[in-house]
Amino acid sequence: MVGFLVRRLLSTVLVLIGVSILVFLIMQLVPGDPVRSMLGQAATAERVTEVRHQLGLDRPLIVQYLDWILGVLHGDLGQSLTLSQPVSSILFPKLGNTMILAGGSLLICLVIGVPLGMVAARRQYSVVDRGSMFVALGGASVPVYWAGLVIINIFALKLGWFPTSGMYDTRNPGGFEDVLVHLVLPSVAAAVVPTAVVARMARGSMVEALHADHVQMLRASGVPERLVIWKHTLRNILPPVVNIVGLQAGYLLGGVIFVEVVFNWPGLGGQLYTSITAGDMPMIQAGVLFIALVFVVVNLVTDVAVALLDPRTRKEA
Amino acid sequence: MTNDPLLKVTGLRTHFSSEHGTVKAVDGVDFQIERGGILGVVGESGSGKSVTGLSILRLLGSRNATIAGGQILFHGEDLLTKSDREMREIRGKKISMVFQNAMTALDPFFRVGDQLVEVIRLHQRVGKREAKLKALEAMELVRIPEASRRLSSYPHQLSGGQRQRVMIALALSCGPDLLIADEPTTALDATVQKQIIDLLAEVNRELGTAILMITHDFGVVARLCRTVAVMYAGKIVESGEVARVLEKPEDPYTQKLLGSVLRMRSEVRRVSA
Amino acid sequence: MTTATLTQPAATAWRRRSQFRLATRALARDKVAVGALVVLTLVVLVAIFAPLISPYDPLVGDPTIRLLPPGTPGHLLGLDGQGRDILSRLIWGGRYSLSVAIVPVLCAGVVALVLGMVAGYFGGRWGELVMRVLDVVFAFPIVLFAIAIAAVLGPGLVNSMLAIGITLVPYMARVVYTATVQESGKDYVEAARAAGLTEVEILGKQLLPNVLSPLVVYATTLAGLVIVLAAGLSFLGVGITPPAPDWGVMTSDGRQVLLEGYAHVATIPGLMIFIVAIAFNLLGDGIRDALDPHKQTGSRN
């Protein structure tokens, strides 16, 4: 167990290094000369060379990378080109907002997806099973930006139950309830695909668990069916379900930019979008790095959780 | 009164519906077990012996299996007329069952002791501490070494033989009158097989638990059982005292079954001579 | 000198042809998959024959009749914010949305096939190392990675295809790699080597068809994701840009007017993306089931 944890941590560190290198390299893909585009066409060759030297862009790539990464480790992510502020001061608060959104979506995903899958498995091949899995198949293919727009149209515009955008009422910010009301629609939109995926997967695991040999032994011992389901099979499917939920967290982090754009949610994704539109390279670099970092950590936590949840990973007594 | 058999099965018929029509897995079966008796039900795979065992406890799962007829009298009451809840009170408490798949019969996610306690507290009104003591008793009954330590083990941390013993402990934990054992030794090594058979014999001697032993191995029957019923294609073709059936099998199928066993035995004797 | 018996490689080739036929027949029995295939073929055909089918020019709009709803006479699906016929834009848009999804999948598939098979067959430790390096890409959420590359390369159809293609290669290569490693260990490869086939022949005739099956299943399901992703890139402005009638662009255009109450501009193209994505997913499921040897015999569950 400890060995596994150590190995996993080590590989995470390696992956993080790899991720930072990759992000750095991606930024080098920008076509054209960033200095020239900054200074404009009229700049002289000497001026360009001078500014390039000032910005340290004439140093070998490795040096530039190390310089950047050392800064990152100290919390210095550079200066935003468009907002004249340190990148970190802009990104950190937004990270929290994205976490709230992701949290809301994951909650919906768990609360709806898992029980739905379990019920479908219990009534295998029934109308409930086929129907819900059919819906889940559709749900798994939904474009999240379209879902967001449809949801806004129906529940915010036509029915007026929820606000159309934002994280809180800008005119009178109301605290917890205000955020909650604004949280509903975006987290539902973001949760459609993950819930569908989790439901399908939970059903599969549940069917397998229900046919496990020990279930027969439990029934033969007189254990009532509700305990068989809610105590035993639920516990049995916990590792694969946690695994898939962790994976969905990754999906959420990838798609968060769409939801935040459609709903004007002030998170990391929305900021990334603004930076992309503005061509603010340091912001883009940091934003991508951030989201990737969170993703790696989430994967690590998921793997550790799955290992902890399965007693079979523990060695012989 | 005390002469009534513990279990009396008459005309049991269990059918499965499949895409090829109805399969009569058990087709009119009669047998009985006395209190403290040991009956062996022998047959090859497909003979219906396992289904018979499952039918007694009504564990078939409703999807394509139905008990189409017959009577299963336990303590004089017909099990086939009992409600689900009444059956649940019988399973594990009055009639227990152990299976072949010792490897996978225990929930891998719960400690062995917790699984024992769960069943004990289900059928008996006892507190946690008392239940733990009873669990320990059950483990010691089946002769698991270091029983108290093993209580906090997970199933995968035990050997195959130990897991089989735990399954038996689980089945006996509430003192049932009848234990149905469905091929409990088939998946085990020869030495462990012998140990488990001896354990079952001891349980029968000490506790008076009746045993319905379902197996394809006549050798097991010879070691353990007092009476035997031979099954073929859903019907019982021969039954009686074990000694008699082994000596003078009347039915040709029984003779065939025994023939191979006896042939093997005499070959072994020749080789080792 | 040829003998009367079938040589091993020829035998496996014959077996594979009949496997292919079994798979096609199994697929034909799967009504859902066939339906999905029909839908996809229809969409492709409509896109190909756009100039003949489209009622109006997708780029020309009449601002005086902007935002009219679906059902307006002459405009089945209504008009967008610039007075352009939505149906025509949808028809022409297929060319963009489908190509920016299918082309990268095909190209990445070819690259992944070469990379994965070489790494898997010859690789040994080097192959493992290459795969480990590619694993870094898996540390990113796939959508984020594509967005990052697209953002950096700039907008446009070709850049979009490039960004998506680059993103897909590691995922597809991994599928090819694991399949190749698995197949390489099997007996028929040994037999082929003993029969004197060259490495290239082994790769091409023996391994390739067996590695192709999982890749095709994966690619088809991936196509469903890619079509959503590609339109998503356009939606964010890092893919295809207006005034091109790409479905993602249309959805993005529609976003502004949705808040004013004209939902059809955004919801219709988005629905189109959804339908095509479902079709790809269903087809992928169908192909996977058809290739499953247990299902091919036609027995029901």
What is the edge-to-edge ordering of all strands in the sheet holding B210-215? B95-98, B178-182, B210-215, B38-42, B227-232, B235-241
In SS3 terms, chain C reads as CCCCCCCHHHHHHHHHHHHHHHHHHHHHHCHHHHHHHHHHHHHHHHHHCHHHHCCCCCCCCCHHHCCCCCCECCECCCECCCCCEHHHHHHHHHHHHHHHHHHHHHHHHHHHHHHHHHHHHCCCHHHHHHHHHHHHHHCCCHHHHHHHHHHHHCCCHHHHHHHHHHHHHHHHHHHHHHHHHHHHCCHHHHHHHHCCCCHHHHHHHHHHHHHHHHHHHHHHHHHHHHHHHHHHHHHHCCCCCCCCCCHHHHHHHHHHHHCCCCCHHHHHHHHHHHHHHHHHHHHHHHHHHHHCHHHHCCCCC
Weakest mean pLDDT among A74-78, B128-132, C242-246: A74-78
Does the pLDDT at position C298 exceed 50? no
* Residue from the list A216, A224, A311 with its beta carbon closest to the beta carbon of B108: A311
* Residue from the list C149, C255, C278 with its beta carbon closest to the beta carbon of A262: C255
ipTM entry? 0.86
Weakest mean pLDDT among A281-290, B104-113, B171-180, C12-21: C12-21
pLDDT tens for A112-165 read 999 999 999 988 888 888 888 889 989 999 999 999 999 999 998 888 888 888
* Residue from the list C136, C144, C235 with its beta carbon closest to the beta carbon of A288: C144
- Mean pLDDT of chain C, nearest integer: 84
- Mean pLDDT of chain B, nearest integer: 88
Percent of chain A with pLDDT over 90: 31
Q: Give residues 127 to 156 of A whose Cβ lies within 8 Å of B.
A: none
Residue C228 to residue A141, Cβ atoms within 8 A: yes
A220 CB neighbours in chain B (<8 A) are: 57, 59, 91-92, 96-97, 99
What residues does B235 pair with on adjacent strands?
A: B232
Query: Are C280 and C286 a contacting pair, CB within 8 Å?
Result: no
Model confidence, pTM: 0.83
Q: What's the pLDDT at C294?
A: 64
The confidence band for A71, taking pLDDT boundaries of 50, 70 and 90, is confident
Weakest mean pLDDT among A91-100, A210-219, C199-208: C199-208
Percent of chain A with pLDDT over 70: 94
Q: What's the pLDDT at C4?
A: 46
The confidence band for C17, taking pLDDT boundaries of 50, 70 and 90, is low
Most A CBs within 10 A among C137, C147, C234, hence the mutation to make, goes to C147
- Mean pLDDT of chain A, nearest integer: 86
Weakest mean pLDDT among A134-138, A172-176, C227-231: A172-176
* Residue from the list A219, A220, A236 with its beta carbon closest to the beta carbon of B109: A236
**A316: nearest CA partner in chain B:** B157
Q: What's the pLDDT at C7?
A: 57
The alpha carbon of residue B191 is apart from the nearest alpha carbon of chain A, in Å, by: 23
pLDDT tens for A232-245 read 999 999 999 999 98
3-state helix, strand, coil in chain A (%, to 5): 80, 0, 20
Does the pLDDT at position A98 exceed 80? yes
Does the pLDDT at position C139 exceed 80? yes
Closest CA to C88 of C39, C44, C38, C47: C47
Residue C141 to residue A251, Cβ atoms within 8 A: yes
The alpha carbon of residue A34 is apart from the nearest alpha carbon of chain C, in Å, by: 11
Tell whether C281 lies on the interface with A, counting CB pairs under 8 A.
Answer: yes
Cα–Cα distance, A8 to A304 (Å, whole number): 8
**A213: nearest CA partner in chain B:** B105
Chains in contact with B, where contact means 3 or more Cβ–Cβ distances below 8 Å, are A
Residue C148 to residue A288, Cβ atoms within 8 A: yes
